[in-house]
Amino acid sequence: MRAYFMDDIPGDQRLPHDSGRETSEDALRSIGVLHWHIPIDGAGAYKDEVLKVAKEREYKNHDVIVINKESLGDEFESKIKNFYHEHMHEDEEIRYILEGSGYFDVREHATESWIRCHMSAGDLLVLPAGIYHRFSLDMTNRVRTMRLFKDEPKWIAHNRGKETDANPFRTQYVKTIEVQ
């Protein structure tokens, strides 16, 4: 995974929007974002490593989704735009990229800057509950991803706004990173 601050130049969300300013895994950890690289191997040993992380974080279920033009059909463009709305969840979001690539953008709370995490096969990312983020495919326009869940998936996206800023999960997240 490569992480960097985004530029502020308008344009297709699937373009790199690279400001040229890298960010470190330590900086990501300081805002609660965790990353592992677990290479995909033909023998399937990667599954044991992913499940080890899942067990440590008390995740019990998972599924695999495919996001591309073929799987989404006529809804492809609207779905991609919808994923790109800034939002937060009341649960951790954990994703493991099996094939393809895409971007998870996370807000750095102190500066309000976007940090872009370009992920590809073998990257596993954990976003804490309450962090503002969004997702976009890159120009490959395809990704196959394992989603992990503590119990049953609760895919409620709380779009950014005054009400969401006051959400208890958001306020707890902000308190946690401000203490560090």
Note the helical H segments in 22-75.
25-30, 45-56, 69-72
87 a known binding residue?
yes
133 a known binding residue?
yes
85 a known binding residue?
no
User: How many whole angstroms separate alpha carbon 175 and alpha carbon 166?
Assistant: 12
User: How many whole angstroms separate alpha carbon 109 and alpha carbon 164?
Assistant: 14
User: How many whole angstroms separate alpha carbon 175 and alpha carbon 164?
Assistant: 15
152 a known binding residue?
no
Three-state DSSP class for residue 3? strand
- Per the annotation, where are the binding residues for Fe(2+)? 87, 89, 93, 133
- Per the annotation, where are the binding residues for Ni(2+)? 87, 89, 93, 133
- Per the annotation, where are the binding residues? 87, 89, 93, 133
